[in-house]
Amino acid sequence: MDASKVADLKLFVDQCKSNPSIIHNPSLSFFKSYLQSLIFYANLQDKGGVNMAEPELHSDAKKPNFSNEEDDDIVESDVELDNTGVVEPDNNPPQKMGDPSVEVTDDKRDAAQTEKLKAVDAISEGKLDKAKDYLTEAILLNPTSAIFYATRASVFVKLSKPNAAIHDADAALEINPDLAKGYKVRGMARAMLGLWEEAARDLHLASKLDYDEEIGSALKKVEPNAHKIEEHRRKYERLRKERELKRNEHQRQQQKAEAQVNDQEALSAFKDGQVISIHSTSEVETKLNAATRTSRLVILYFTATWCGPCRVISPLYTSLAAKYAKVVFLKVDIDEARDVAARWNISSVPTLFFIKNGKEVDKVVGADKSALERKIAQYAG
């Protein structure tokens, strides 16, 4: 590599060390992403996940950024079903329904039964439209009979009108929720519409209430399709859950990498074992934020060159900084940084604030050496 370019790179790295915030410049986003990827690789290497000597083997699989594959939705494949017997939905005007508020006299009840018997005969003769008309008359005479609705529903099934059949079956089951025929006919009608899972549920209910061979035959056709749909749904629910877990893990790793970059930037703002001079309120905020991110105790010491007690405590403050290298020791000259002194309402010096997680937890006013060292030992731990 050209020596002049190496020198430029070294200069840039030095600038980053002295002022870590420049890494957030949008024009340097590519470099920040590179730093995050280095931290990500280092974490994986510590866990035995990546051989850094052969990074090209992992260049796509281990990046902290999301891949296009993770952003794309899972495309479900079609389910191969046996759709024999499935018909187009009937969209005819709704059939006549009875008025449940009508008083049903004995004469009406008898007349309705007569119409039903006519319908049974018509069904046996294959005259389904006639049977439908007889059952409609029976329903109008006695709208409280669930069996009339269920029987007309069975005629609609024979006429390949599943929606009409379902409408009648719903009416029958509203009158009598335990009517096996209502569930049976509705299940058969739903199967004609390809509603396999709903059909299976209805037929199983009918089977529990009053099993017959027709229900068993219908279930043999419906159940395989219903099981295929259920297995298909479970498969893709599992795939989506796995995708979500993978996405969350990648996001966690990326956030961890970003946090480590931020922590490195924060740590580079400190001078372990040394006292840091502060000249503005923005500097104070920067150091306090960095200390919060790294869970460090901060001591903010306000002093002045003309202050006698300050000259007594300053050497101790410097020696304590060397002793407690993981504590952030800040020093503010109130004459040089009047805005900082005003912000902290300083009325006398020396004043020392103890700050943890962005909050003042204690302070010492005056040149109390023993109190200063005692409080540092208390809060640094």
Of 203, 229, 212, nearest to 83 by C-alpha is 229
Helices 146-158/180-192 angle, 10° precision: 30
Query: CB under 8 Å to 279, separation ≥6 — which residues?
Result: 336, 337, 340
Q: How far is CA 112 from the centre of its chain?
A: 58
From the list 195, 205, 307, 313, the catalytic residue is 307
CA dist., res. 315 & res. 327, Å (int): 16
Q: Give the helix ranges, DSSP H, for the chain.
A: 3-18, 29-46, 68-71, 106-124, 128-141, 146-158, 162-175, 180-192, 196-210, 213-268, 281-293, 308-323, 338-343, 369-380
User: What is the rounded end-to-end Cα distance, in angstroms, of the chain?
Assistant: 47
Known catalytic residue at 307: yes
Whether the Cβ atoms of residue 32 and residue 25 lie closer than 8 Å to each other: no
Whether the Cβ atoms of residue 199 and residue 166 lie closer than 8 Å to each other: no
Phi first, then psi: what are they for 354, rounded to 5°?
-105, 120
Of 40, 31, 71, 70, nearest to 58 by C-alpha is 40
CA dist., res. 91 & res. 378, Å (int): 82
CA dist., res. 97 & res. 119, Å (int): 17
Phi first, then psi: what are they for 322, rounded to 5°?
-70, -35
Whether the Cβ atoms of residue 350 and residue 299 lie closer than 8 Å to each other: no
Which residue is associated with the tokens 């109008």? 140
CA dist., res. 349 & res. 365, Å (int): 7
**Which amino acids are annotated catalytic?**
307, 310
